[in-house]
Amino acid sequence: MIFRKPELRIREYCEIEIYREYDGKHSIDNHISRKDIAAANELYALIDTYDKDQSKRLLQKSKIISKALAKIPNTPLHEISDTRWEETKEHIENVLKVVLELKGFGLARATKILHLKRPELFPILDSYVVAFLLADILGTKSKNLRVGLRCMEIARKTIRKNITGFETLQKSIKDLPEYLSIVRLFDILCWTTAKWDLQGITTAPHGKAERSLLNLNS
């Protein structure tokens, strides 16, 4: 898929989808808090919606998660060298595994929380992004862990291969009120393509996608 008008796409997303309510709530530290849970819920994480003990279980694991997060710097995903990537991936796997092992936490919920703590590193990997990148669906906890790591591999390679375009895109939207990391731009482009263009679901909380829709027949 070629994103021919990525700036228009990002701007339209920020106008009609959830943006400031979530992307303005980064908290780059090693501590999972109720504020992080509230921010993730703004992006439909739905923590506690159907199981009131979900946040309790997450917070009970906060010390273990904090220890795992402490080993992961907020380094942009694409800037991690090949020599450092295997070690970093191991740390990513460890923190993902802790969160995914919690009852009620799938890959989407996990990455919505972890992106708030490391916005330069973790893309948000929900079912739309996974379907777009892998033509696959989420499943068991062990599968979700494998899928998450595979999607991060793809994100890293894709961004590195197209870094000039992503850097240009990031500069072009500097006027937006909340910062969007390159990895967040990547997941938005994947998510909107899967939802708006491929599935034709264009309705959003604050409007309807129109201006940046792709002509898939061209």
pLDDT of residue 84: 96
**Would you list the DSSP string of 69-102?**
HTTS----GGGS-HHHHHHHHHHHHHHHHHHHTS
pLDDT digit string, tens, across residues 10-41: 999 999 999 999 999 999 999 999 999 999 99
CB atoms within 10 A of CB 93: 16
pLDDT of residue 45: 98
pLDDT of residue 102: 96
**Would you list the DSSP string of 1-68?**
---S-HHHHHHHHHHHSS-HHHHT----SS---HHHHHHHHHTT--TTTS-TTHHHHHHHTHHHHHHH
The answer for residues whose C-beta is within 8 angstroms of residue 103's C-beta and 6 or more apart is: 51, 54, 57
Axis-axis angle for helices 141-161, 82-100 (nearest 10)? 150
Q: Mean pLDDT in the chain?
A: 95
Confidence tier at 93 by pLDDT (50, 70, 90)? very high
Residue 218 clears pLDDT 80, i.e. is over it: no
Mean pLDDT of 104-126: 97
Single pTM value for the model: 0.96
Residue 128 clears pLDDT 60, i.e. is over it: yes
pLDDT of residue 135: 84
Mean pLDDT of 178-191: 98
pLDDT of residue 216: 66
Mean pLDDT of 114-139: 93
Residue 217 clears pLDDT 60, i.e. is over it: no
Closest by CA position to 102, among listed 69, 56, 136, 135 = 56
Mean pLDDT of 110-133: 97
Residue 61 clears pLDDT 90, i.e. is over it: yes
Residue 160 near residue 186 (C-beta atoms within 8 A): no
Residue 3 clears pLDDT 90, i.e. is over it: no
